[in-house]
Structure 1
Amino acid sequence: MMGDGVKQILAKPIQLADQVTKLAGDAHTSRQECLELKAKTEKLAALLRQAARAELYERPATRIMQDTELVLGKALGLACKCRAHGLMRRVFTIIPATAFAKMSTQLDNSIADVSWLLRISTAGADDDQFLGLPPIAQNEPILFLIWDHISNLHTGSVDVRSDSAAALASLARDNLHYAKLIIEEDGVGALLRLVKEGNVDGQENAARALGFLGRDWESVDRMLNAGVCTVLTKLLKDGGPMRAQAAAAWAVAELAGNHFACQELFAQNNVIRLLVGHLAFETVQEHSKYSIIPASKAMSIHSVVVATTANKPGFDDDRSSSSSGGQFRHHPNALSQIHSVIESTMASAKSSKAAAAAATATNGAVPPSKPILSSGFGTKGRDSEDPATKAEMKAMAAKALWQLAKNNLAICKSITESRALLCFAVLLEKGSGEVRYNSTMALMEIARVAEDNPDLRRSAFKPTSPAAKAVVDQLLRIVDKGVLDELLIPSITALGCLSRTFRATETRIIGPLVRLLDEREAIVSRESVLALTKFASTDNFLRVEHSKAIIEAGGAKHLVQLVYLGEQLQIEALILLCHIALNVPDSEDLAQAGVPAVLAWASKQGHMVQDFRVDSLLPTAKAKMELYQSRGSR
C-alpha cells in the first residue's frame, strides 16, 4: 500500500512551492494578492513536507501529487509576472483580475487534497471522523471512496476495518466496474489481511467482499495470484467463528464458479476435506469428528461404514450377479440402517479411543497397534452456535462442493471417497431451503462426471454402497413427488446420468420419470425425456430391459403426443422413441400407441430430419419397426 515511489514524486512539488513562496514575497506589483498567494503556498509546502515524512497511500498520492504539481506550476508563472522590472514591462504585463481568485481556489483545493491524503494514510487517525472526499474527487467520487475504504483497512481500528470491508462488499456486489476498481487499487491484499487478522464481523465482511470481487475470469485470476485460496482455506481450517467460515465457504463457491483454475488450487489446499467436515458436523452423529488412521494404512469413515454394512443383514452384496457392473436394489429402510451403522461404527471408535487412553495411563504409551484419533478440523465452540448459523454453514459448504465438483473428476473422486454422499442424502431428507438445493446441485454435478467415467461410477455408486443407495432414494423421492420446485430438475438430471448404474430389476426409477412426461411445464417434460433417453440409448447395457419398462409404464403414448404436439420437445421425444423402437421393435404396445405411424410422419417433416441425430436414427428405427410389425401381422 505505502511505497517509496511516492517520495520521488513529492520532490518536484516541494521545489515548486519554495520557488513560488520566494517569488511571491519579492513581488513588485499586486503585492497584497501575492502575499495571500505566498501564505497559501507556504501552508501547502508544509503539508507536502509532512507528507514526505509519512507513509502515504501510493495509489491516490500519485494522482494528487500530479495535480498539485500542475497547480504550483501555474502559481509560479503568476508570481513571475508580478516581479516584472521596468516601467514598460510592467505596462505590458497584463494580469487578469480573476487570475488571483482562480489561483487561490486551486491552491485551497490542493491543500484539501493533500490534507485528505495525510489523514487517510496516517495510522491512528480519528476513526469517528468522517473524512469526506477531496476536491480532486469531484469527477470520479467512487474511486476516492474506494481509496478511503482501502486505507481504512490498513490503518483503521478493528470496527472501522470491518465497516470498510462491508462497504467494499456492497460496492462490488452492486457494480462490476466498482469491483474491478477495488482490485486495481490493491484492495485484495488488504481484505486478505483482514480475513487473517480481523474480528468475527471483519472476517465475515472481508470474505464476502472477496466473493463479490471474483465476478469474472480476469478478476479471479488476479486474486489467485494474491493468495486468496490459501487464506480462505486457512479460515475454514482454523475453527474460527462459524459465521466467518460460512462466508469463506460462500467465497470459495463464487471464485470456483467463475474460474476453473480455482478448483485445483483449492484442492491442493485440502479444502475438500474441510468442507466435507463442515457438511458432516451434526449431520450424522459423531460422523465428522474423527478420522481413524491405523499405523499401516489410513481408513476413512466412509470405508469403515461400507465394510461394516457389507456384513449387515438387509444389505445385499450381489456384485457377482450383476451384469451391468453396478446397480441398485431398493431398500425402504436404507437411511435408518445407515444411521445405525454409523452409530455402531462410532461406538467402536470411541471404545478404541478409551482403550488407548487406558493403555496410556497404565503403560505410559499408546500401543502401536491401536488407531490414532485425529481431529479433522477446528471444532472449538461449534456446538454453541445457533441453528441458523449452523444451517448457513452447511448450505455454503454444499454450495462450495457443488462449484468445485463441476467437470472435475479428481475432485469428484475426493468428494465421493469421503462421507459427503451420505451427508448429502441425510440433508436431502432432513434439511430445508438452500442446503437442500445446494446438496442436490452438488449431487447432479457429481453424477454428470460419473456418467462419463466408469471408475467413478463403480467406486461412488456401486450397489453395495449404503451412501449411494441413500442418495438414489432421496433423488427418487423428489422425482416421485413430482412437484416443480428448485430440486426437481437437478434430481431428474442426476438420475438420468446414473442410468448405467441400475439393475434390470430396478424399475422403480422409470415409472416416476415416465409420469413426468405428461407434466404441463415443458422444462420438466424435457428433462424427463433426456433422462429416459440415457436409459434407452445404445450406451446403456440394459437398454432393452429399460425400454420395456418405459413401455410398461405407459411412456409410448406420452412420447407419441410429444412428437406430434411437443413443439420444443419434438426432436428429443422422437430420439427417445427411435431408441425404444430399435430396442423392442416387436412390441405390441408400441404398435397400439401408433409409433409406426408417428415415425412415418416424422420422416416427412423437414425440420426433424435435418437434425443429424434424427437423421442417423429415424430411418433405421422406422425400417426395423416395419419389419417386425409386418412379421407380427402375418
Structure 2
Amino acid sequence: MALCSYAQQLFDLMLLGEDVSFAINESNSFKVECGELGKRVSRLLELLSDLLITTDPTPLYLRPINCMVAKLKGHFEAARRIVCNCKHRNLIWRLFASRIAAEFEEFFHVLDAFIGEMELVVRLYEAQTRGGCLKTVDRMSPTVSVWSSIATVEMGSSLDDRIEAVNHLASLVRHKHDYKHIIVEEGGVDSLMKLLKENCSLVAHIAAANTLCLLANEDNEGTIMKEMVSTFIKSLSKTSPISKQMQTADLVASIAERNPESKQHDLIRENIIWQLVILLSSEQSTLELKISCSKALWKLAQGSVSNCQTLTETKGMLCLAKLVAKEQGELRYNCIMIIKEITSIAESDNGFRRSAFTSSSPAAKAVVDELLRVIKELDDTKLRVPAIKSIGSLARSFSAKHSRVIGPLVARLGNTDQDVAMEAAIALKKFVSTDNYLCSEHSKSIIEFEGVPLMMKLLNSGDKSTHPHVLALICYLAQHDSNSNVLIKAGALTALQTIDPKVNTEYRELETLVPRTISKLQSYLTVEQQQTESSTGIKQFFTKQSKAVVATIGGRLKLLYKGLTVYLPRLVKNPRKRILGAIPPLKTTRIQQFLKAKCMELALMSVYYLKKRLVIEEPAQKLRLVVRKFVKLLEKKEIRRNFGYIIHKLNENVLSKKKKKKKKKRRE
C-alpha cells in the first residue's frame, strides 16, 4: 500500500468514526452503554490521528498499520449497527433488550483489547520517528512483538538497534515454533533479506543470515535458501570486490557453524563449495581471502559426508596438500583442520573412505605425505595434534607395507608435550585394535620401532590423562602372542596389575580388556618358564655329552698320531713290500689328500650333529680344532676303526632317545 493511499484510508476511517459518534449522540435508549461506547470510539479516533501524525514519507514497514486499519473498519461498522438497533423502541426491541445489553458488554471487551494493540502500534511508530525502538513488554501479543522487531529491522535509525531486533526474532523462533509462521506471514523474510544485501557490517549480515536459516527449516519450497545462496554466489564471484568476497566467506563460515542443518542443503554443496575452492586455489586471491575461504570450507566440512565428498571430487585435496606444504600460520592451520574433518568422516564412513583414500589416488598420497611431514618436522602442537588425528582416522586405509606411517607416530609417544603423546597413543590404538584387519602386522611394526619402552615411560612419568589410551594400546598389542615376551620384559604385566581400579570403571574399553590381557600374559609367562627350565636341562645334558665326545676324539687322535711316526716312514721307504702285502698302490701325496678330506668330513658331521642337538658352539669349535690339529695323515682303515666308533656312539644315542619316545606314546 503506497503512502498516499495509506493516508487516505486513515482519513476515511476517521470519517467513519465521526459518523459512529454522531449516531451514539442521537440514541434515545441504552444511554449508559452508548456513553461507554462513545468514549472508546473517541479514543480510537485519537489514536488514528496520532498514527497519521507519526507517519513519515520515507519507506515504512506498513504491515501493522494495514492490519489495524482492516480491523478498525470492522469495529466501527459493528458499533454503528449496535447503536442503530437502540433507536427502535417497539415490541421487538423490548423482547431483545437483554440481548442488546449483552452485545454491548461483549463488544466493549473487543474494543478494549483492540485499543491496547492500537496504542502499541502508535508507540512503535513514534519510537522509530524518535530514533529508538519499542521495548518488548509482557502484555504484547506474539504478533505485536514480531511487528515491533520487524519494524526496527526495517526502520531502525541505528545499526545496533536493527541487529538487536534481528537477534530478538531469532530468540522468538528458538523459544516457540509458532513464531516462525508469524514472522513469515508478517513479512519478516523480506526485511531480513534486505538487510543481508545491504552494504553494512559482517555482524549485521551474520545476524540476518542465521535468522533466515532458522526460518528456512520450515520453508518447504526452499525459496529462502535459494535467495540466500543466490546472494552468496553473486558476492563470491570474481567480479565482486575482494572485501565483499571475504565478508561473504566469513558469513558462510558463521552459517555453517551455527546452523548445521543449513549447510547440508544441496545448493550449498553444489554452488558455494565449488566457488570457495576456486578462490582458495586462485593466485589472484589475497592471503586474507584464502584464510576466510579455508575457514568457510572447514566449517562446511564438519560432520557432513556430502560436503566432504564434494571437496574430494574437486581439486580440493591437492590444493590443501600444497597449501599445507608452502603456507604458514592461520591458513596452514585451517587447511589441516579441513583435512582432519575429511579424514574423520572417512573413519566413520567406509564407502567414502574407499573412494577418497585409495592407494592409487595421487591426492590422497599427497595429503598423507604432508601430514607425516607435519608430524615429523614441525614442532607445533596446534598443527601436530590434528595431523596425528588425521593419520589415526585413516588407520584402516593403510596396508601392511605402509609401515612408514607407524614410525612417526611411535616417535611422538616420547614427545614432551603430553597432548601430542596422547594423540599418538590414540592413533596407534586404531592401527592395532581388533577392528583393523591388519592389526597383527601393524603391531609388529610398533614393536620393531621400539614403541613398548616409550609406552612404559608414558605410564610411569606421563600425564594421567594419557594412561587409559596407553593401557588400551598395550592390551591390543598383547592380543598377539609374538608380542607377549617383549611386553612382559618391559614390565607391561606389572603395570596392568597395578592399575588404579577407577581407570577401568571410567573407561569401558578397559573394563574387560585389561583383565583379559592380564590373564593372557600370565598364561604366557607360565608356559615360558616351563620351556626355559626344560631347555636348560637339555642344554646341560648335551653340553656334557659333547664334552665327552670331544675328549674321546682327542684321545683317539693322540694315539693315532703317536703311531704315525713309525708307520709312515715304513710306508714311504718300502713301497714294493707294501704292494706285495696287498696295500693299495697310492702315492704319499694322494694318501694325505684322501685321509685329510675324510677326516674333515667326519669332523664336520660331528659338529653338525652337535649343533642340531642344541649344544652350545664352544664344544663344537673345540672339536673342529682337535681334528685339524691331530689328523694330518691317516690310512682309510684307521679312520674306519677309530672314527667309525665315535659316529656309531653318537647315532646310537639319538636312536635310543627316539625309541624311548615311541615307547612312551604306545604306553599312553
Aligned to 1:189: 189
Aligned to 1:227: 223
Q: Residue 364 of structure 2 is aligned with which of 468, 476, 481?
A: 468
Alignment of 1:58 onto 2:63: yes
Aligned to 1:272: 273
Aligned to 2:495: 598
Alignment of 1:582 onto 2:479: yes
Aligned to 1:133: 134
The one-letter code matched in structure 1 to 2:218 is R
Summarize deviations over 1:468-494 as a string: whole Å, max 9, x none: 233223323433335332x44332221
Q: Offset of 1:185 from its aligned partner?
A: 2.8
Aligned to 1:439: 335
Assess if the C-alpha contact under 8 Å between 1:536 and 1:546 holds in 2. yes
Separation (CA, whole Å) in 1 of partners of 2:424 and 2:73: 68
Assess if the C-alpha contact under 8 Å between 2:468 and 2:507 holds in 1. no
Tell me the SS of whatever aligns to 1:222. Answer: coil
Distance 1:178 1:616, change over 3 A: closer
Assess if the C-alpha contact under 8 Å between 2:68 and 2:118 holds in 1. no
Aligned to 1:201: 200
Q: Offset of 1:503 from its aligned partner?
A: 4.5
Flag structure 2 segments of 5+ consecutive residues without an equivalent: 32-36, 83-112, 536-668
Assess if the C-alpha contact under 8 Å between 2:426 and 2:469 holds in 1. yes
Alignment of 1:429 onto 2:331: no
Taking the TM superposition and a 5 Å limit, the aligned residue runs for 1:110-509 are: 113-115=120-122, 130=131, 132-133=133-134, 147=147, 150-151=150-151, 166=163, 168=165, 185-186=183-184, 189-190=189-190, 193-194=193-194, 198-201=197-200, 205-206=204-205, 208-211=207-210, 214=213, 221-222=217-218, 227-238=223-234, 239=237, 240-257=240-257, 258-260=259-261, 262-266=263-267, 269-282=270-283, 383=284, 387-388=287-288, 390-403=289-302, 406-408=303-305, 410-432=306-328, 434-480=330-376, 481-485=378-382, 487-509=383-405
Assess if the C-alpha contact under 8 Å between 1:153 and 1:190 holds in 2. no
Assess if the C-alpha contact under 8 Å between 1:250 and 1:399 holds in 2. no
Separation (CA, whole Å) in 2 of partners of 1:48 and 1:174: 29
Worse-matched range after superposition: 447-456 or 518-527: 518-527
Summarize deviations over 1:55-89 as a string: whole Å, max 9, x none: 97435865899899999999xx9xxxxxxxxxxxx
Q: Offset of 1:398 from its aligned partner?
A: 1.9
Q: TM-score, normalised by structure 2?
A: 0.56
Q: Offset of 1:26 from its aligned partner?
A: 7.5
Distance 1:153 1:600, change over 3 A: closer
Q: Offset of 1:252 from its aligned partner?
A: 4.2
Assess if the C-alpha contact under 8 Å between 1:560 and 1:594 holds in 2. yes
The one-letter code matched in structure 2 to 1:194 is K
Q: Offset of 1:577 from its aligned partner?
A: 0.5
Tell me the SS of whatever aligns to 1:209. Answer: helix
Summarize deviations over 1:341-385 as a string: whole Å, max 9, x none: xxxxxxxxxxxxxxxxxxxxxxxxxxxxxxxxxxxxxxxxxx5x7
Distance 1:447 1:629, change over 3 A: farther
Tell me the SS of whatever aligns to 2:482. Answer: coil
Separation (CA, whole Å) in 1 of partners of 2:499 and 2:70: 75
Separation (CA, whole Å) in 2 of partners of 1:149 and 1:56: 11
Assess if the C-alpha contact under 8 Å between 1:493 and 1:527 holds in 2. yes
Q: Offset of 1:623 from its aligned partner?
A: 1.6
Alignment of 1:546 onto 2:434: no
Separation (CA, whole Å) in 2 of partners of 1:212 and 1:113: 25
Separation (CA, whole Å) in 1 of partners of 2:142 and 2:68: 15
Assess if the C-alpha contact under 8 Å between 1:499 and 1:534 holds in 2. yes
Structure (1/2) with the larger helix percentage: 2
Aligned to 1:371: none
The one-letter code matched in structure 1 to 2:516 is P
Distance 1:256 1:183, change over 3 A: farther
Q: Offset of 1:458 from its aligned partner?
A: 3.9
Q: Offset of 1:423 from its aligned partner?
A: 1.9
Superposition CA RMSD, Å:
5.8
Q: Offset of 1:505 from its aligned partner?
A: 4.8
Distance 1:16 1:431, change over 3 A: farther
Distance 1:594 1:72, change over 3 A: farther
Assess if the C-alpha contact under 8 Å between 1:229 and 1:269 holds in 2. no
Distance 1:273 1:618, change over 3 A: farther
Q: Offset of 1:544 from its aligned partner?
A: 3.0
Tell me the SS of whatever aligns to 1:201. Answer: coil
Separation (CA, whole Å) in 2 of partners of 1:143 and 1:274: 40
Summarize deviations over 1:162-214 as a string: whole Å, max 9, x none: 88765555667999869987985347522564378x35438984355213665
Alignment of 1:627 onto 2:524: yes
Q: Residue 531 of structure 1 is aligned with which of 427, 452, 463?
A: 427
Q: Offset of 1:495 from its aligned partner?
A: 1.0
Separation (CA, whole Å) in 2 of partners of 1:182 and 1:419: 40
Q: Give the greater-gyration-radius structure (CA).
A: 2
Separation (CA, whole Å) in 1 of partners of 2:116 and 2:228: 42
Distance 1:407 1:575, change over 3 A: farther
Identity %: 24
Distance 1:160 1:459, change over 3 A: farther
Aligned to 1:103: none
Separation (CA, whole Å) in 1 of partners of 2:43 and 2:188: 38
Distance 1:394 1:626, change over 3 A: same
Structure scoring higher RCO (CA < 8 A, sep ≥ 6) equals: 1
Distance 1:203 1:587, change over 3 A: closer
The one-letter code matched in structure 2 to 1:465 is S
Separation (CA, whole Å) in 2 of partners of 1:169 and 1:430: 42
Alignment of 1:22 onto 2:18: no
Q: Offset of 1:226 from its aligned partner?
A: 5.4
Worse-matched range after superposition: 505-514 or 446-455: 505-514
Separation (CA, whole Å) in 2 of partners of 1:259 and 1:610: 30
Separation (CA, whole Å) in 2 of partners of 1:522 and 1:174: 41
Distance 1:183 1:210, change over 3 A: farther
Summarize deviations over 1:492-548 as a string: whole Å, max 9, x none: 221101123334454443344334445566554443222111111233344334223
